[in-house]
Structure 1
Amino acid sequence: MIWKSRRRRQLQQHNNAYVAGFYQAEPIKRSQRIIETKLVALDVETTGLSPLNDRIISVAVVPFSGSIDLQHSRYFMIQQQLKNSDAVLIHGITDEDMAAAEDEEVVLEQVLDVLRNAVMLAHHGDLDWRFLQHRLQLHFQAPLMIQMVDTMGLEMRRLQLQQQPIVDGMLTLGACRQRYGLPDFAQHDARNDALATAELFLAQLSRLGGIHKARLKDVGMHWKT
């Protein structure tokens, strides 16, 4: 896409160093082997499902380069007014959590830094991307043009190839993990969900010949723009 390349070149000159640095990275080829690729499992927790009306509460990132890299995983809390919010009950947020929260613009810069030179890995990643896209436009007037692998989409294609009917609830992160014999996990926590997504991806790769054989095109890597 000519417009995509042109837009990326414009963003490389952005006045925010993190935005510019993110877009200075070269796109990753779909033919590249996964074992040679930096992926970042990402999950955001929000106050609701509308990027226009709701806010991001927290973001977790778990690097994945051949194996899950917990040592360099990151968790960010974002300063929000959450008193009397259902999000407090759903996500179990405490006053202590909010005391450690950071300004949203600072968090977005750090997330861009982690995602630089990487493929974003997410489960139902469209929702995470739309929230990040909206907040980046708000703070920096910049989009989030990123290469992504979606474990939900990957699982849906696998089931369709097996001609299995897909019913409601079959593609949730928990349900997908169960089919691979992975343990239950505490949901509605960005840290747990990002790690659970990375573990699911490893299990999915085992059905594609293993991490040393599979390439990004085999797992449906695509652009989100």
Structure 2
Amino acid sequence: MSNILDEVFHVIDVETTGLDPQKDKIVEIAVTRIHNGESRVSYSQKINPGITVPPEASAVHHLTDRDLVHSPSIESVQEALLSLLSEGTLVAHNAPFDRSFLSFLGDRAWICSMRLAKHLWPSAPGYGNQVLRYYLGLLDIQGFSTPHRSTDDTLVTAEIFLRELDSCYAIDIRDVPSLISFCDSPVTIDVMPFGKHKGVPLKNLPSDYVSWVMKNVSDLDPDLRWSLENRLSR
């Protein structure tokens, strides 16, 4: 019977012109394939977005219109990507973001390595790609050059994800459906992240304040809502 240490995973990263998939476009995409505990870059491509790259986006990934003018459109590489990713499980760090720009991949399950990290390492100082890299002591990543380029980010995420697979296996999460279920389950939040009680442990919050937040904050983070509900039920 196969287990998560033997499965194929595709770590994906996109760089974009901005954060809104309704109006922003991909400028670079890369895929690093994981199988049997080893990773290798399987795809890396600059993409012509068909729109001007804003300077604030270039300041992150350092890609400009000049770098992309002769690159293919995302539509012209979709077939190759669909073929490459036809088998295996998709992974990304902050997966909802990458997934929102790759709707042509269809309604497939994704694993978010950032969310897994929140489950596995609640005491980590942060959950960004580079923070976790140094937190886990991943100092020598073969092929890594600079952050916020798609290939480099997939290499870092792949190493983080390999650590996550080992940690999940150690707590008896042995197959992909169980891994996805664990990843998607609510993340426990212990400290109030905003408001007049910011920084206060949830267990010390007044019950009337918890009830007020749950009733009046319409865009409450689902994990925080779940944690506050648990606080009220105690």
Q: TM-score, normalised by structure 2?
A: 0.65
Q: Aligned match of 1:180 in 121, 129, 136?
A: 136
Q: Which runs of 5+ in 2 are unaligned?
A: 185-234
CA RMSD of aligned residues (A): 2.9
Deviation at 1:209, TM superposition (A): 4.2
Q: Which amino acid aligns with 1:153?
A: R
Q: Which residue of 2 aligns with 1:145?
A: 107
Q: Which residue of 1 aligns with 2:16?
A: 46
Deviations 1:34-90 (A, max 9, x none): 2332110100001111111211111101111113342x5211211133366432332
**Aligned-partner Cα distance in 1 for 2:30–2:53:** 22
Q: Which residue of 2 aligns with 1:195?
A: 155
Q: TM-score, normalised by structure 1?
A: 0.67
CA contact (8 A) 2:27 2:48 kept: yes
**Aligned-partner Cα distance in 1 for 2:54–2:89:** 37
**Aligned-partner Cα distance in 2 for 1:68–1:87:** 32
User: Does 1:77 pair with 2:46?
Assistant: yes
CA contact (8 A) 1:122 1:151 kept: yes
Deviation at 1:217, TM superposition (A): 4.1
Local SS of the residue matching 2:130: helix
Q: Which moved more, 1:95-104 or 1:171-180?
A: 95-104
Deviations 1:106-155 (A, max 9, x none): 1222221111011001111110001112xx3xxxxxx6211222111111
Greater Rg over alpha carbons, structure: 2
Aligned residue pairs: how many? 177
- Runs of 4 or more consecutive aligned structure 1 residues displaced over 4 Å after TM superposition: none
Q: Which residue of 1 aligns with 2:175?
A: 215
Q: Aligned match of 2:37 in 61, 67, 79?
A: 67
CA contact (8 A) 2:44 2:151 kept: yes
CA contact (8 A) 1:32 1:216 kept: no
**Aligned-partner Cα distance in 1 for 2:42–2:17:** 23
Q: Which runs of 5+ in 1 are unaligned?
A: 1-30, 137-142
**Aligned-partner Cα distance in 2 for 1:60–1:35:** 22
**Aligned-partner Cα distance in 1 for 2:169–2:39:** 22
Q: Which amino acid aligns with 1:112?
A: L
Q: Which amino acid aligns with 1:154?
A: L
Q: Which residue of 1 aligns with 2:3?
A: 33
Q: Which residue of 1 aligns with 2:72?
A: 102
Deviation at 1:94, TM superposition (A): 5.3
Identical pairs, percent = 26
CA contact (8 A) 1:58 1:76 kept: yes
Deviation at 1:99, TM superposition (A): 4.7
* Bigger RCO (CA 8 Å, 6+ sep): 1
**Aligned-partner Cα distance in 1 for 2:54–2:22:** 20
